[in-house]
Amino acid sequence: MSETATALLSVKGLEAWYGESHILHGVDFDVREGEVLTLLGRNGAGKTTTLKSIMGIVSRRRGSVRLEGNELIARSSDQIARAGIAFCPEERGIFASLNVEENLLLPPQVRPGGLSLDQIYDLFPNLKERLGSSQGTKLSGGEQQMLAIGRILRTGARLLLLDEPTEGLAPVIIKQIGQTIRTLKAQGFTILLVEQNFRFAATVADRYCVMEHGKIVERFANSELDANMGKLHEYLGV
């Protein structure tokens, strides 16, 4: 139980449904202050649903989600965001009817202490050049991903939920995103990452939780990665 002592986010017995189908069957894990926790698992294991359930986007859910000890399970997603969690969805969610700057400035500040625009431009130098560009969706995939991460850094939320930030991107961009995540961690952000690309995850994660059939089936630290490689290949089918 030493985990809970320093847990920023504590998930217990989380269940979720899409319509009639039961997706999560009691998910338990903690995210500690300042760490990068990665959820691994095959397609359909329930990783994205876990993030969405924490965020309050899945309408029917049960169990317990606590942030800094405050129960969030009964709150609406805007209240959860305001409690201090920021979300970067798998499909990135760049708005076509907003220009790049509007996209970047869209999420409101929920707490003091978010990054300034200059700090964000330091992280993503490309974004600054593209500010004048018209539609947010005219950016390249990598730029869109940077925009999607960049915009949630301003809000002051200290816990970031990132859903497959490397999906469909070129290796050089993936590298850059890995660098960004390490920088964010160094700046004190806590990150819950969903990944299929565990080679990428290995470069940033402190701990791993492996999901299968809507449950956590394995958990280990980065240092135990090599010892668990065999099991992991089995779970991920790589």
The angle that helices 171-186 and 141-153 make with each other, rounded to 10 degrees, is 10
Residue appearing with tokens 């869109």: 144
Give least dist CB 84 to other proteins, A. 9
| Binding track, positions 178-217, relative to other proteins; x by CB under 8 A | ----------------------------------------
- Contact set for other proteins, span 56-75 (CB under 8 A): 56-57
Give least dist CB 143 to other proteins, A. 18
The CA-atom distances, in angstroms, between 10 and each of 31, 83, 138, 234 are 6, 14, 38, 27
Out of 78, 122, 129, 234, name the contact with other proteins by CB under 8 A: 78
Contact between residue 48 and residue 196 where contact means Cβ atoms under 8 Å apart: no
The answer to whether 107 contacts other proteins (rule: CB under 8 A) is yes
The answer to whether 126 contacts other proteins (rule: CB under 8 A) is no
Q: Which is nearer to other proteins, 41 or 107 (CB)?
A: 107
User: What does the alpha-carbon distance between residue 221 and residue 205 come to, in Å, rounded to a whole number?
Assistant: 8
Total residues interacting with other proteins, rule: CB under 8 A: 25
The answer to whether 108 contacts other proteins (rule: CB under 8 A) is yes
Alpha helices in 93-197 (DSSP H): 100-105, 117-123, 125-129, 141-153, 171-186
Contact between residue 218 and residue 209 where contact means Cβ atoms under 8 Å apart: yes
Out of 18, 25, 44, 105, name the contact with other proteins by CB under 8 A: 105
Contact between residue 214 and residue 48 where contact means Cβ atoms under 8 Å apart: no
Q: Which is nearer to other proteins, 71 or 226 (CB)?
A: 71
Interacting span for other proteins (CB under 8 A) from 55-63, 119-127, 138-146, 224-232: 55-63
User: What does the alpha-carbon distance between residue 161 and residue 52 come to, in Å, rounded to a whole number?
Assistant: 9
Amino acid identity of 98?
L
Binding stretches for other proteins (CB under 8 A)? 55-57, 76-78, 80-82, 86-87, 89, 93, 95-98, 102, 105-108, 110, 152, 155
